[in-house]
């Protein structure tokens, strides 16, 4: 029986790892990690979400990074497959940036994106 390889849903750059660690370390109460997801929002259709995880949902996918955990909302998995999460600081702003191969467009203000679900069949042949 051949084992199906486990794909990493999301990866983090060094800058994102450092910022997530800061967020977890500075939380007002103990947290298990952060959860990444998507929600319906804005003119392009969807927005990325990032929340504290106080209670672990067994349905979440988990990415362990340098001693902390990033949980992926199960409803967002197909939208986030292959995504690289980065953290950027510019002259005018700072925040997480999602380099997502499933993203097809973004609104002009940068608040929302259009994302197509990944094709699970394409993953099996990869």
Tokens of 18: 């450092």
Residue 38's H or E segment, with its range, is strand 33-41
Residue range 84-110: average pLDDT?
A: 83
100 within domain boundaries? yes
In a domain, 1, yes or no: no
**pTM tops 0.85, yes or no:** no
The answer to whether residue 5 is domain-embedded is: no
Residues spanned by the domain of 43: 10-125
Give me Rg for the CA atoms of the chain: 15
Q: Which region among 53-57, 77-81, 84-88, 107-111 has the lowest average model confidence (pLDDT)?
A: 107-111
Indicate the average pLDDT of the chain: 82
Quote the pLDDT of residue 8.
Answer: 72
CATH number at residue 89: 2.60.300.12
Residue 42 has pLDDT above 70, yes or no: no
Residue 98 forms part of a structural domain: yes
Instruction: Measure the CA–CA gap between 41 and 58, rounded to whole angstroms.
Output: 26
Whether 64 is in a domain gets the answer yes
**What pLDDT shows up at residue 68?**
85
Q: Is residue 32's pLDDT more than 80?
A: yes
The residue ranking higher by pLDDT, 10 or 45, is 10
Number of domains in the chain: 1
Within a domain: 38: yes
């Amino acid at each position: 029986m051949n084992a199906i390889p486990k794909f990493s849903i999301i990866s983090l750059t060094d800058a994102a790892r450092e910022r997530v660690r800061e967020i977890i370390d500075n939380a007002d109460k103990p947290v298990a990690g952060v959860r990444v997801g998507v929600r319906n929002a804005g003119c392009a259709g969807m927005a990325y979400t990032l929340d504290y995880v106080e209670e672990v949902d067994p349905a979440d996918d988990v990415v362990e990074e340098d001693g902390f955990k990033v949980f992926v909302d199960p409803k967002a998995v197909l939208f986030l497959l292959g995504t690289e999460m980065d953290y950027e600081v510019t002259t005018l702003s700072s925040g997480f940036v999602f380099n997502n191969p499933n993203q097809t467009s973004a609104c002009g203000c940068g608040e929302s994106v259009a994302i197509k679900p990944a094709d699970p069949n394409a993953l099996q042949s990869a």
